[in-house]
Amino acid sequence: MSLTIHMEGVDELARALDNAARDLPRESSIAINGTRTQVVKGMSKQIREELAVKAKDLKTTLKARKRATKSSLNASVQLDHSSRLSLRAFGSRQTRKGVSYLTHKGRGRQIVPGGFMGPKPGVKAPRLGGHAYKRQGTARKPIVRLHGASAWGSYTKNNMQPRTVREGEHALEKQIERRIRFNVLKKQGLI
């Protein structure tokens, strides 16, 4: 995903800096890094509109990677492709029938028959870490950890990238305007 920078905003930023060529890359990198943060928050919000997870659970899959610097005016955000979230992230609870969980908003809770989180309903085993498990086969072992939906799968299936690009471009314009206001006020001695 890439965002386009409209030259009008950069020209206004250069005028606010009195055409100081040495300050323009630094101010641009600050604006780009602010946009990167807003894009991560926006992507998290879009995914959470579809999936019933908390923002802290998405931090394992959605990360702001590269920061912009004066010499390299680009930043990156990464949404991991293969990570499926544990059922713990979907509000799993042990019942008499198994483990119930809610993956998507607007749908009802689902049950994994025979799933468990502890020795009995309402009691979580500390050594299991709050995760849900199910026995594989009829023997006591092996047990497998249960996983729900993938944040990446939800993002691509619901085609959220165009909205992210639109919001990112809007955020970049706001960040450039913010840097222009800051430099104008700094030049006037009000900051």
Q: How far apart are the first and last CA of the chain?
A: 36
Q: What is the pLDDT along the chain (191 residues), one digit of tens a residue?
A: 555 565 566 667 666 666 565 677 888 899 999 999 999 999 999 999 999 999 999 988 898 888 988 888 888 899 988 678 999 999 999 999 999 999 998 889 999 999 999 888 888 888 888 899 999 988 888 999 999 999 999 999 999 999 999 999 999 989 988 987 887 787 777 87
* Measured distance CA(191)–CA(183) in Å, rounded: 9
Q: Tell me the chain's radius of gyration from C-alpha atoms.
A: 23
CB 84 within 8 A of CB 105: no
Q: Helix and strand tally (H, E) in the chain?
A: 5, 9
- Classify burial at 148, counting beta carbons within 10 Å of its beta carbon; exposed 0-12, middle 13-18, buried 19 or more: buried
How far is Cα 146 from Cα 88, in angstroms, rounded to an integer?
9
Strand partners, 120: 123
Which pTM does this prediction carry?
A: 0.82
